Amino acid sequence: MASTTDGAAALDGVQRPAIRETIEARIQTAERFAEALAQDQFSLFCQQIEPLAAKSDRKHMEIFVRLREEEEYLLPPGSFLPILEANHLTPALDRWEVRKVLNWSAEKRDSQVGWQIPNFNINLADDTINDGDFPRHVLDSLYDSRIPPDRLWFEITVRQFAGFRDAARRMVASLKELGCAVAISDFAGTETDARAYWNTGIQFVKLAGRVVREIHRNPRALSILLEINDACHKFGLQTVAQFVELSETLATLRKVGVDFAQGFRIAVPVPLATTPD
């Protein structure tokens, strides 16, 4: 009978090549995405956010990133973000996204007299929230592009705020000091939660999809949304309803005073470069 030591050695001999191959594949993949960033192989998409409570001459849009593969095939974030996260490359992607959005805006402004610079919603990755140098990159990018800082809305999820509380507070304070806005997303909390976010400097609340989807046909769901919307407005927090897919939902949101709406009923994501002026 083989000893435990012999068995461990045999098992180790089987596992080592597999582990090595996994590490090599992971490194190669990370290098692939680092190269894609360096060569500008990512593309920006945007989805319109519609003001409901008041008219605005300025467009509002959330920015998404896609990766251009061979033959212009676009990979959605779910296929590459986990790899970027595992290799701590998401701060580099977020920095690229900020600079790209601002440069695109500067080019449009300089080429079209009277063009209104939109508001851009940019989601922050976990590692970016913990990146103390990120606000400096935003400041430098704003300075280079001469775009007003209030055109940038940065988005942090409820999960991220709970998981990186101190870093999230510092990030909100730093970005707000620059003149940028910060939103908390996937919110379904209480008045106490709304007050806590307001105290950190949060200015916008993106309501969780589960709060929004049933409001046009479920009185209980509508009651919950009204309670949350009123709590946010009590502290001057503007509300954004996400995942608005039906005309009935949109009509209800207008009626109850939610500030903004986003979803396929409003607009589908399109390449930023193709957005109408």
Per-residue pLDDT of the chain (277 residues; tens, 9 = 90+): 444 444 444 445 545 555 445 545 555 677 777 788 788 888 899 999 999 977 777 899 999 998 876 445 566 666 677 778 888 889 999 999 999 999 999 999 999 888 899 999 999 999 999 999 999 999 999 999 999 999 999 999 999 999 999 999 999 999 999 999 999 999 999 999 999 999 999 999 999 999 999 999 999 999 999 999 999 999 999 999 999 999 999 999 999 999 999 999 999 999 998 887 7
In angstroms, the first-to-last Cα distance of the chain is 77
Query: What pLDDT score does 131 carry?
Result: 97
Per-residue pLDDT at 88? 86
DSSP 58: S
Residue 272: both structure tokens together = 């930023």
pLDDT at position 25 is 54
Q: Are residues 46 and 35 in the same domain?
A: no
> Exposed, middle or buried: residue 129 (CB in 10 Å: 0-12, 13-18, 19+)?
buried
Q: How many residues are listed for the chain in this entry?
A: 277
The pLDDT, as a whole number, for residue 18 is 53
d(CA 194, CA 138): 27
Residues 2 and 108 in one domain: no
Same domain, 9 and 130: no
Q: Are residues 194 and 64 part of one domain?
A: yes
Same domain for 225 and 135: yes
Find the domain containing 22 and state its range: 1-39
Q: What is the token pair recorded at 195?
A: 């007050």
Indicate the helix (H) or strand (E) that contains 154: strand 152-157
d(CA 234, CA 274): 38
Say if residues 250 and 265 touch (Cβ distance below 8 Å). Answer: yes
Q: Are 33 and 84 in contact (CB under 8 A)?
A: yes
| 22 and 143 both lie in a single domain | no
* 146 and 228 both lie in a single domain: yes
- Whether residues 243 and 164 share a domain: the answer is yes
3-class SS of residue 220 = helix
Q: pTM here?
A: 0.85
| Backbone angles phi and psi of 245, in degrees to 5 | -115, -10
Q: How many domains does the chain have?
A: 2
Looking at the structure, tell me whether residues 142 and 20 fall in a common domain: no
- pLDDT (0 to 100) of residue 121: 97
Pair 17, 94 in one domain: no
Q: Is 170 helix (H, G, I), strand (E, B) or coil?
A: helix
Q: What pLDDT is recorded for position 190?
A: 96
Same domain, 119 and 150: yes
| 104 shares a domain with 189 | yes
CATH of the domain at 173: 3.20.20.450
Predicted pLDDT at 2: 40
> Which residue type does 217 have?
R
